[in-house]
């Protein structure tokens, strides 16, 4: 890294886009311009893909960074040009949906983004996802329309057709950006109206006694502030669009051609740049630029076609499509290019093409100039990005700093006295042998000469001894001693194979090696002092052991890092789990102690939000049982080094890993076997989550409780009638289920506030975080603070976290309206809600409908005045039984969704002694759990299957094979549309997760690689088939027979889950006895 104290000369960017849109190939051209790789190998070597499986598959799986140095000529105030050095910190990120968490961690520490879009495939699902991530993190994007050569060589479009295709593509991307802006403005408008009504209500209360109360109105100056959306869109004339072909090594902005043609046409460059894109034409008679209004029926080419595309088409035509050496020579002479004659005579058309374009339209020059012009420097970018990190509820673009620490952050102050603030977005593992101090050092010229002299003397001594007829005896040379000691070190360090480094960015100050810092973990509360018991456990002192500049596959050690740069840091292993904020009062070295004065430089920049939760769950074990401790250590390393993997141990003793997809799972298993555990590992079949529910169908059997009792009613009692209760189970209306699932985060917040008020549980137990430091982990690497255990660990992460549809203070009123709309039987039910489940936050409700009972209403928990302690214990047992029943349903012990459990009666006899109360309380839990499950089965039970949204890009000739593959796996096509100007179809389908194993490989085989799917978890969907269905009516018996030859798919799924969990499964050993054949003797 070029150490620079000028934050104005630094840019921090990342490449984002859909998979196979050319991000890593694009970065190769920038690396070639820095002489890191050969220009001839740019686009072929994919330097940033350092893993073997990345090179084999041709996709990026881990984000990697590189610091590039460029010297740019800029015009001075005196009109002359002077060179200026820039440092560009570039992060190459994956495009596959399984590794979207890598994009989230990278965008957190960047100021801008290069958004790559394939010119043929256009806007895809991951394109929208990464654009949304860039929008949320307030990055300044640059649109790169890549693979431009496909328009010429593959689609064979004419220049005019290509222009219209490009216009539509830019409009599609702008439509995505516009949808983000519209959604944000709608939220701003709603917020402004609510604040305005609140202020008006307050003023009316203050002036209630005045005569002019009715004439109150809002001041005129308090109007809704409209925002200009011009800056968010991509437009070639604004310089934030690059047309490129990374494989051929060229790219341009329209400013390049405006500069070329301005002198020829005798117009100003700025004026030509404005009309070079759009419906502007050159009048052949007057030589003036006209708009489409003045065409008067004439068929003229747009300026972009005439000046830009025609020239590019001519080069491709004369070099690749219809090779013409004479025409190529004329083009080279016209462009004043210096190309060697042997290159002009080359028969490799692509090589000649890249030579011509690299001199004429250099991709690296164009990209770096665009980054400098569009992406703000850290000192400017942090004024708008840091306030959003510190205050997530902030809706203004920027605010004034409140103290010295914020002033340093806003200004990106790199001085030694400034507060040191760095954000570690993720931890990544590096083989210890690949660290710079473990690599063999290059010999200097003097050492090489000395080694040569020693070798020459050795040869001379050997020849003299041979002439004398004696056997030479050589002493060990110093180099031999060095090699021996090296081998000893390798043996000693055999157990330490991987080193964890932090992937970080410095926002303020200057950080040095061996300096002492505080690591502030993501659960740190900025509103409380550092010495508060809630905060003290999330502040860990550490010492910086090493600082490195990341150069793709290499790490370059440095003594210090200044503000605005991206770097790798060592010394955090055992202190930081996944992400943290590094803080210090200044860049000076010295020991630190935690006091109240530390609040002047301590803060928490928050955690990284995952866009796609992990869904694929697999149990692991070692082939050799004695190697299991190595597997546990390997899982711990893997969990730290991968931001989107979760590992835990179930109550059954199984070690389970949760990954984002099947490709992600393959990579994790490879890392465990070859890097972290280095033992043979056996993985189970993927554990697919289900949900259980019940619905009302017209052909239900009579209720279990009798004709007089409503359906779903269960009467229960324990201990010979000591406690009697009645519970009625009902399916919730679909609107209420959707509302509860969308607002789970609000319910969780209310639960935490309730626990704080009532002190029913320790607050620290509910503060669950995945970024728990290893010093509060137990011996096997599992998290003591995790609130999920057993089979349910990670279940909460499998649900898509949605944005709440209402505000916290409007939750109950909105729920009241939905219940009133659902029908008379649901009227006022929300007033009597006792608890949500499972986990007290799920989409099931326990309702207290006992006469005269008010103590358990969730809205009125603070008014609990139950006189009987025994009754209080029994009520807690009822709630616990409800939580267990909804956490493990009756079908296959999977969580329940969309059920209401009405507690209609609870009668307690007089008890003697606390022993009877405690014994009866335990029995009541089991009785309530069984009653809730029995009530659910009184309706028609159903499974809810986890579903993938599958996006497939396929050509017309393989479309039928794609449909057949999806149908074979019980999926369904949701939409299909043909991309205009191409022969490609975009197919959108829904596919059950349980049927998706090997789907990507299957569809690639059937289509010979012409189609590749992207699977994104989209939630759960009802599978409308009763697991207990058997043919009963005459039509069903006539159609299927008594044996029901048609397989009950729902029962197959239920039995598979029950068998995996070790539950009872009813199986017939001989299913069709009459079909058995007797073997001949």
The model's pLDDT over 691-729, given as tens digits with 9 standing for 90+, comes to 999 999 888 888 888 778 889 999 998 877 788 999 999
Q: How far apart are CA 132 and CA 777, in angstroms?
A: 35
Rg from Cα positions in the chain: 34
Token couple for 1075: 């079909």
Question: Which has more pLDDT, 1075 or 549?
Answer: 549
Share the mean pLDDT of the chain. Answer: 83
| Residue range 830-848: mean pLDDT, rounded | 90
Q: How confident is the model at residue 998 (pLDDT cuts 50, 70, 90)?
A: confident
pLDDT at 498: 86
Question: Given its phi and psi angles, is residue 1043 left (phi above 0), alpha (psi -120 to 50 degrees) or beta?
Answer: alpha
Closest CA to 93 of 60, 127, 46: 60
Could you tell me the pLDDT band of residue 804, with boundaries at 50, 70 and 90? confident
Instruction: Report yes or no: 16 and 133 within 8 Å, Cβ to Cβ.
Output: yes
End-to-end CA distance of the chain: 83
The rounded percent of the chain whose pLDDT value lies above 70 is 85
| Cα gap 964→415, rounded to integer Å | 64
Q: How far apart are CA 882 and CA 612, in angstroms?
A: 30
Mean pLDDT of 891-905: 93
Question: Residue 1042 pLDDT more than 80?
Answer: no
Q: Which residue has better confidence, 200 or 738?
A: 738
Decide if 903 contacts 727 (C-beta within 8 A): yes
If you count them, how many residues does the chain have? 1081
Bridge partner residues of 985 (DSSP): 954, 978
- pLDDT at residue number 215: 46
* Tally of CA atoms within 13 A in the half-sphere of 442 that contains its CB: 2
Sheet with 616-622: strands ordered across: 646-649, 655-659, 616-622, 681-683
Contact indicator for 519, 539 with CB cutoff of 8 Å: yes
Dig out the tokens for 485 from the structure. Answer: 């000691």
Residue 667 structure tokens: 């990579």
Cβ atoms of 563 and 7 closer than 8 Å: yes
Of the pLDDT bands very low, low, confident and very high (cuts 50, 70, 90), residue 963 is very high
CA 238 vs. chain centroid, Å, equals 30
Q: Read off the pLDDT of each residue in 371-396 and give the average, rounded to a whole number.
A: 88
Q: How far apart are CA 170 and CA 935, in angstroms?
A: 56
CB atoms near residue 437 (< 10 Å): 9
For 206-231, the pLDDT digits (tens) are: 877 554 444 444 444 466 667 777 78
Q: In which element (H, E) is residue 1016 found? A: strand 1012-1023
Alpha-carbon gap, residue 52 to 58, rounded angstroms: 10
CA distance 469 to 471: 7
**pLDDT tens by residue, 299-337:** 889 999 999 999 999 999 999 989 888 999 999 998 888
Question: What per-residue confidence (pLDDT) applies to 253?
Answer: 94
Model confidence, pTM: 0.82
pLDDT level of residue 788 (50, 70, 90 thresholds):
very low
What would the pLDDT profile of 933-950 be if each residue is shown by its tens digit? 999 999 999 999 999 999
CA torsion 953-959-965-970 (nearest 10°) is 90
pLDDT tens digits along 407-449: 999 999 988 889 999 999 999 999 888 888 877 776 777 878 8
Q: How far apart are CA 849 and CA 832, in angstroms?
A: 7
Compute φ and ψ for 1049, nearest 5 degrees.
Answer: -65, -40
The pLDDT value recorded for residue 536 is: 87
Single out the residue of 383, 390, 384, 387 nearest to residue 605, CA to CA: 390
Q: What is the predicted pLDDT for the residue at 361?
A: 92
Mean pLDDT of 739-759: 77
Report d(CA 217, CA 203) in Å as an integer: 9
> For 285-289, what is the mean pLDDT?
84
Q: What SS3 class is residue 21?
A: coil
- Beta bridge mates, 202: none
- DSSP-based three-state secondary structure for 975: strand
CB atoms within 10 A of CB 1074: 6
- Position 618 pLDDT exceeds 70: yes
Residue 357 in this model has a pLDDT that exceeds 80: yes
Bridge partners for 90 per DSSP: 13, 66
The secondary structure of 373-427 as a DSSP string is HHSPPHHHHHHHHHHHHH-TT--SS-----SHHHHHHHHT--STTSPEEEEEEEE
Contacts of 150 by beta carbon, 8 Å cutoff, 6+ apart: 118, 119, 120
């Amino acid at each position: 890294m070029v150490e620079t104290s000028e934050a104005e000369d630094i840019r921090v960017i990342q490449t984002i886009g859909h998979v196979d849109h050319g991000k890593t190939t694009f970065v190769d051209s920038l690396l070639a311009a820095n002489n890191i790789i050969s220009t001839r190998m740019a686009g072929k070597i994919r330097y940033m893909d350092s893993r073997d499986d990345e090179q084999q598959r041709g996709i990026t799986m881990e984000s990697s960074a590189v610091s590039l140095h460029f010297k740019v000529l800029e015009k001075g105030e005196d009109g002359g040009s002077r060179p200026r050095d820039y440092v560009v910190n570039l992060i190459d990120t994956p495009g596959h949906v399984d590794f979207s968490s890598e994009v989230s961690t990278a965008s957190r520490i960047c100021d801008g983004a290069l958004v790559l879009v394939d010119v043929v495939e256009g806007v895809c699902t991951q394109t929208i996802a990464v654009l949304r991530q860039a929008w949320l993190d307030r990055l300044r994007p640059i649109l790169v329309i890549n693979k431009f050569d496909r328009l010429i060589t593959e689609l064979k479009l004419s220049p005019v057709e290509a222009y219209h295709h490009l216009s539509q593509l830019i409009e599609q991307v702008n439509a995505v950006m516009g949808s983000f802006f519209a959604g944000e403005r709608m939220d701003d408008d709603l917020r402004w109206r609510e604040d305005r009504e609140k202020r008006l209500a307050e003023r009316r209360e203050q002036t209630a006694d005045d005569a002019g109360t009715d004439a109150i109105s809002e001041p005129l100056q308090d109007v809704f502030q409209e925002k200009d959306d011009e800056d968010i869109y991509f437009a070639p004339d604004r310089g934030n669009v690059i047309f490129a072909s990374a494989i051929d090594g060229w790219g341009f902005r329209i400013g390049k051609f405006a500069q070329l043609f301005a002198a020829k046409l005798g117009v100003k460059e700025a004026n030509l740049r404005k009309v070079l894109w759009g419906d502007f034409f050159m009048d052949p008679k007057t030589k003036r630029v006209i708009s489409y209004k003045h065409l008067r029926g004439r068929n003229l080419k747009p300026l972009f076609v005439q000046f830009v595309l025609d020239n590019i088409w001519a080069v491709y035509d004369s070099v690749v499509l219809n090779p013409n050496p004479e025409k190529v020579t004329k083009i080279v002479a016209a462009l004043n290019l210096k190309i060697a004659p042997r290159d002009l005579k080359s028969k490799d058309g692509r090589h000649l093409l890249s030579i011509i374009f690299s001199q004429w339209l250099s991709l690296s020059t164009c990209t770096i100039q665009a980054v400098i012009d569009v992406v703000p420097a850290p000192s400017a970018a942090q004024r708008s990005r840091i306030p959003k990190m510190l205050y997530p509820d902030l809706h203004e673009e920027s605010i004034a700093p409140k103290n010295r620490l914020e002033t340093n952050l806003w200004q990106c102050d790199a001085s030694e006295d400034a507060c040191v603030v760095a954000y570690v977005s993720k931890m990544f593992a590096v083989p210890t042998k690949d660290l710079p101090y473990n690599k063999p050092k290059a010999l200097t010229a003097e050492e090489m000469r000395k080694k040569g002299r020693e070798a020459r003397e050795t040869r001379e001594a050997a020849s003299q001894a041979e002439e004398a007829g004696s056997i030479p005896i050589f002493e060990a040379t110093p180099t031999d001693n060095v090699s021996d000691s090296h081998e000893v070190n390798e043996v000693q360090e055999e157990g330490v194979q991987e080193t964890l480094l932090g992937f970080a960015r410095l926002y303020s100050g200057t950080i040095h090696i061996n300096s002492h810092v505080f690591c502030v973990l993501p659960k740190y509360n900025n509103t409380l002092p550092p010495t508060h018991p809630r905060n003290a456990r999330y502040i860990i002192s550490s010492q910086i052991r090493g600082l490195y500049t990341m150069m793709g596959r290499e790490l370059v050690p440095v003594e210090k890092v200044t503000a605005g740069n991206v770097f790798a840091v060592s010394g955090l292993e055992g202190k930081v789990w996944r992400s943290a904020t590094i803080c210090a009062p200044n860049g000076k070295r010295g020991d630190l102690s935690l006091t109240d004065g530390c609040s002047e430089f301590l803060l928490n920049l928050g955690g990284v939000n995952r866009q796609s939760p992990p869904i694929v769950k697999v149990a692991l074990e070692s082939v050799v049982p004695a190697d299991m401790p190595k597997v546990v250590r390997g899982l711990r390393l893997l969990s730290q080094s991968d931001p989107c993997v979760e590992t835990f141990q179930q109550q059954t003793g199984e070690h389970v890993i949760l990954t984002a997809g099947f490709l992600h799972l393959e990579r994790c298993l490879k890392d465990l076997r070859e890097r972290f555990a280095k033992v043979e590992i056996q993985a189970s079949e993927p554990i697919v989550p289900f949900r259980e529910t019940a619905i009302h169908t017209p052909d239900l059997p009579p209720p279990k409780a009798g004709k007089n009792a409503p359906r779903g009613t269960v009467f229960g009692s324990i201990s010979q009638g000591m406690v009697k209760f009645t519970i009625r189970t009902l399916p919730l209306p679909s609107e209420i289920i959707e509302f509860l699932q969308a607002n789970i985060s609000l319910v969780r917040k209310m639960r935490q506030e309730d626990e704080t008020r009532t002190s029913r549980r320790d607050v620290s137990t509910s503060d669950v975080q995945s970024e728990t430091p290893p010093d509060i982990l137990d011996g096997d690497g599992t998290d003591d603070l995790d609130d999920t255990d057993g089979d349910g660990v990670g279940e909460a992460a499998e649900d898509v976290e949605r944005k709440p549809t209402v505000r916290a203070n409007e939750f109950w009123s909105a729920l009241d309206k939905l219940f009133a709309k659902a029908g008379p039987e649901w009227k006022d039910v929300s007033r009597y809600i006792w608890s949500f489940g499972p986990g007290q936050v799920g989409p099931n409700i326990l309702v207290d409908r006992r006469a005269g009972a008010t103590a358990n209403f969730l809205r009125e928990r603070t008014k609990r005045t139950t006189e009987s302690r025994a009754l209080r214990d029994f009520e807690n047992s009822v709630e616990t039984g409800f939580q267990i029943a909804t956490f493990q349903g009756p079908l296959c012990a999977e969580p329940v969704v969309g059920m209401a459990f009405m507690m209609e009666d609870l009668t307690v006899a007089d008890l003697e002694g606390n022993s009877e109360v405690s014994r009866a309380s335990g029995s009541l839990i089991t009785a309530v759990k069984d009653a809730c499950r029995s009530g659910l089965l009184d309706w028609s039970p159903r499974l809810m299957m986890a579903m993938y949204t599958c996006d497939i890009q396929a050509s017309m000739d393989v479309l039928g094979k794609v449909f057949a593959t999806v149908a074979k796996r019980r999926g369904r096509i949701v939409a299909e549309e043909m991309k205009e100007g191409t022969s490609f179809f975009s197919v959108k389908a829904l596919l059950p997760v349980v049927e998706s194993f090997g789907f990507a490989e299957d569809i690639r085989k059937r289509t010979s690689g012409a189609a590749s799917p992207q699977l994104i978890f989209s939630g759960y969907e009802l599978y409308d088939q009763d697991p207990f269905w058997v043919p009963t009516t005459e039509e069903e018996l006539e159609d299927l027979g008594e044996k029901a030859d048609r397989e009950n798919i729902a029962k197959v799924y239920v039995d598979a889950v029950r068998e995996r969990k070790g539950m009872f499964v009813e199986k017939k050993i001989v299913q069709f006895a009459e079909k058995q054949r007797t073997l001949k003797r």
